[in-house]
A = this chain, B = another copy of it.
Amino acid sequence: MLEFDLIARIRARAAVRDDVVLGIGDDCALLAPPPGMQLAVTMDTLNAGVHFPPETAPYDIGWKALAVNLSDLAAMGASPAWCTVSLSLPEATDAFIDGFSDGFLSLAQQHQFALIGGDTTQGPLSISVTAQGLIEPGMALRRDGAKVGDTIWVSGTLGDAAAALAQWKHGKTMHPTLRARLDRPTPRVALGRALRGIATSCIDISDGLLADLAHICRASGVGACVHATALPASSALCEVFSDDERYRLQASGGDDYELCFTAGAERSDEIHALALQLGLPLTCVGKIEDGHQVRYDDVDFAMTEFGYQHFVNTFSSKV
């Protein structure tokens, strides 16, 4: 499988958008951004053995590589537009390429997300994606707008992906619901769009709630108080782990790709209505306060675990 064949195969299945003047096949793609819109741009890489277990199915690798980038667009309130992908593979088998493309492109199609370029190289399994979205000027959900007195919210349930990973690391069979959350996270694109004008700050939970909320606090110059017992948990998580274990997984576990956002306390009814409209739980888990730290008010954990940091914790070194 040569580079040119691989690109051609993916190209044949890429979504079509009117604002793509020239897609895959030249030195660059050419895009005509809609007048007056700003661009939101993000780039994230997944390496085998660091960001996913080496035995992850090719479909799920393709899905997740795109999902983590869509999640960053969601966290800004941006509408997905175009992406490029760089795929490093030790050996390009049909089975891998087909599975990877299926996962990647099926998620892309759900969001009218056009694959406009990229490359393939021989090397250890690694996928880099650059994603671009569109956002109205001044409407982006940034990290630096949280105010003292704002309520803190999270979407969906927390800790599921970390729970699956914990099972995997202990050699156990992963619970299928938890595993699905690890392998095929759902980027909260519609929620991000709906939060424009409501949220004062927003971030996606990739490194763990406490670590990501700490990013908001640092950027906004505030502190946060979180109710551990209020953190939303799936029934699968409660089934497999004790309360103490699940609090830790929910607070420190990464890879959920839910959104954490803040909003004025007077917006709570609107946010509850939004949850019903989207069919997605939105839970108030705490409050922004004066200070510089993220603390629990109801569980006595040593707050040393501040989320996932590359070069410290990897799939191989984590225990």
Complex contacts, A130 vs chain B, CB 8 Å: 43, 84, 130
B92, A311: Cβ atoms under 8 Å?
yes
**A4, A26, A140, A203 interface centre (most CB from chain B within 10 Å):** A26
Complex contacts, A26 vs chain B, CB 8 Å: 76, 142-144, 219
B309, A32: Cβ atoms under 8 Å?
no
A310, B3: Cβ atoms under 8 Å?
yes
> Contacts A28-B40, A41-B82, A126-B88: A121 and B76 contacting too (C-beta < 8 A)?
no
One of B41, B44, B123 near A119 (C-beta < 8 A): B44
Nearest-CB residue, chain B, relative to A78: B28
Complex contacts, A50 vs chain B, CB 8 Å: 121-123
> Contacts A122-B311, A142-B22: A86 and B44 contacting too (C-beta < 8 A)?
yes
Q: How far is the CA of A45 from the CA of B117 in the complex (A)?
A: 12
One of B4, B30, B36, B128 near A45 (C-beta < 8 A): B128
Digitize A109-150: 1 where CB-to-B-CB distance is under 8 Å, 0 elsewhere: 000000011111111101010101101010010111000000
Q: How far is the CA of A140 from the CA of B144 in the complex (A)?
A: 38
One of B76, B85, B123 near A30 (C-beta < 8 A): B76
Known pairs A26-B76, A29-B41, A30-B39. 7 more at Cβ < 8 A?
A26-B142, A28-B42, A42-B84, A43-B119, A50-B121, A50-B123, A128-B128
Interchain residue pairs with CB less than 8 A apart (28): A2-B311, A22-B142, A26-B143, A27-B72, A27-B203, A28-B40, A28-B42, A28-B78, A29-B41, A30-B38, A31-B38, A31-B39, A31-B40, A31-B41, A32-B137, A41-B132, A42-B117, A43-B85, A43-B86, A43-B119, A43-B130, A44-B86, A50-B121, A92-B311, A122-B311, A124-B124, A124-B126, A126-B126
